[in-house]
């Protein structure tokens, strides 16, 4: 009985193996033929329309904002500061008092100089009177030696008078300068604007002669100072329009205009390069804005050229072969034709087509 059961199981396993092998063979043969008979999938293409639009070309620049008009304030003379009349960042009008300096030392110097000048003048008058008396009372010179001696004495007196006159003029000028400085002891704002202290010397108690105190700036007149490389400088001209963005406020767009293009290069040390990289300064005027102050990081797009009603196509679809350029024109019904075109203005995104295409055509990238 056991022998019969084992024999039956053996045949069942053999039949199972045969059935599985047959099924796998059938699937591979017939399914493979069915896949081979399926039509090939159509080639994927990307279409680009040919349009008529305004095409612009621009140069990107970076730099900082600075006040277009800055009036620097210096201490008129060395002295103690008796009073400060302005706060940092305060609005001032022309003529407002900014600070007052102690006048006592300068007044003493003026009084001393006036006394010295008066003394010098009196001494000169006395010397002139004595010389005149000596000339009138002197006996006529007899010998040649005596005449020469008298002539030398007269010439020495004349030169001494001239020297005294020069010294008097110098002293008079120094006295006039001191008096002029005295008039600036109460220092008035020379311009309208915002007063900004020098950060290192804000409100000093004493000042030295011609010490820098701060500056008065006009917040309504700012400019964008950008640096441009030699490959772009010749494309930039005065009067070109600029769209300006602030690094701190990327959504804010300001309008600007190129007002000055430097003719002289400055050099900066380039990374991963040998030698110096020449940079040229471009000055861009900025429209007033409440968020705009000096020292901000700015970027701008200088519009170097503009073409109205230009026939354009995506630059990706244009193929260049040497001096030739062509596109694959969609003729409809899945038919594409190589078409040579004449290229005009080119940007990173758009290419102007001077001939070979018209607005409404479609080109493809296969």
**String of DSSP letters for 290-320:** TT--TT-EEEEEEEEEEEEEEEEEEGGG-EE
Query: What is the rounded end-to-end Cα distance, in angstroms, of the chain?
Result: 74
pLDDT tens, 158-167? 777 777 777 7
Name residues of the chain where pLDDT drops below 70. 1-43, 128-142, 146, 200-201, 267-275
Q: How far apart are CA 95 and CA 82, in angstroms?
A: 19
Give the pLDDT score at 35.
47
Q: How far apart are CA 20 and CA 16, in angstroms?
A: 6
Q: How far apart are CA 208 and CA 75, in angstroms?
A: 7
- Cα–Cα distances in angstroms (integers) from residue 237 to residues 67, 284, 303, 304, 328, in the given order: 22, 11, 10, 8, 38
Give the pLDDT score at 168.
78
Give the pLDDT score at 44.
76
Beta bridge partners, 63, equal 226, 298
pLDDT tens, 72-103? 999 999 999 999 999 988 999 999 999 999 99
Give the pLDDT score at 40.
60
- Name which of 345, 170, 70 is nearest 162 in CA terms: 170
Q: Does 59-68+219-305 match 47-57+307-365 at the fold level? A: no
Beta bridge partners, 319, equal 326
- Statement: 59-68+219-305 belongs to CATH 3.30.2350.10: no
Give the pLDDT score at 268.
62
Give the pLDDT score at 319.
94
Domain locations in the chain as residue ranges:
1-38, 47-57+307-365, 59-68+219-305, 70-98+190-217, 103-184
If you ran DSSP here, which 8-state letter would residue 359 be given?
A: T
CATH for 70-98+190-217, options being 1.10.10, 3.40.50, 2.70.98, 2.40.50: 2.40.50
CATH architecture of the domain 47-57+307-365 equals Beta Barrel (2.40)
Q: How far apart are CA 194 and CA 189, in angstroms?
A: 10
Give the pLDDT score at 265.
87
């Amino acid at each position: 009985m056991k022998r019969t059961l084992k024999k039956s199981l053996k045949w069942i396993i053999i039949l199972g193996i045969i059935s599985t092998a047959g099924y796998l063979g059938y699937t591979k043969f017939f399914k493979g033929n069915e896949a081979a008979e399926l039509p090939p999938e159509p080639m994927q293409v990307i279409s680009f329309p040919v349009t008529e639009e305004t095409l612009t070309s621009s140069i990107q620049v970076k730099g900082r904002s600075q006040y277009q008009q800055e009036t620097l304030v210096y201490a008129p003379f060395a002295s103690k500061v008796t009073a400060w009349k302005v706060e940092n960042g305060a609005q001032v009008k022309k003529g407002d008092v900014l600070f007052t300096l102690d006048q006592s030392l300068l007044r003493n110097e003026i009084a001393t100089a006036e006394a010295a000048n008066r003394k010098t003048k009196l001494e000169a008058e006395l010397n002139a009177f004595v010389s005149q008396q000596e000339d009138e009372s002197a006996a006529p010179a007899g010998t040649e030696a005596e005449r020469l001696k008298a002539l030398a004495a007269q010439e020495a007196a004349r030169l001494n008078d001239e020297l005294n006159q020069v010294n008097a003029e110098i002293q008079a000028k120094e006295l006039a300068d001191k008096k002029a400085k005295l008039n600036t002891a109460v220092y008035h704002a020379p311009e309208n604007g915002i007063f900004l202290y020098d950060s290192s010397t804000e409100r000093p108690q004493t000042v030295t002669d011609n010490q820098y105190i701060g500056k008065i700036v006009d917040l309504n007149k700012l400019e964008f100072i950008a640096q441009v490389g030699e490959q772009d400088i010749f494309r930039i001209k005065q009067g070109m329009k600029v769209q300006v963005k602030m690094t701190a406020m990327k959504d804010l767009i300001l309008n600007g205009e190129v007002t000055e293009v430097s003719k002289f290069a400055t050099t900066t040390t380039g990374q991963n390069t040998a030698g110096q990289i020449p940079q040229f300064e471009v000055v861009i005027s900025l429209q007033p804005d409440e968020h705009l102050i000096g020292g901000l990081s700015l970027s701008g797009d200088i519009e170097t050229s503009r073409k109205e009603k230009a026939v354009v196509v995506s630059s990706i679809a244009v193929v260049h072969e040497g001096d030739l350029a062509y596109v694959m024109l969609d003729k409809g019904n899945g038919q594409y034709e190589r078409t040579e075109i004449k290229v005009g203005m080119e940007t990173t995104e758009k290419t102007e087509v001077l001939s070979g295409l018209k607005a409404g055509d479609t080109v493809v990238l296969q």
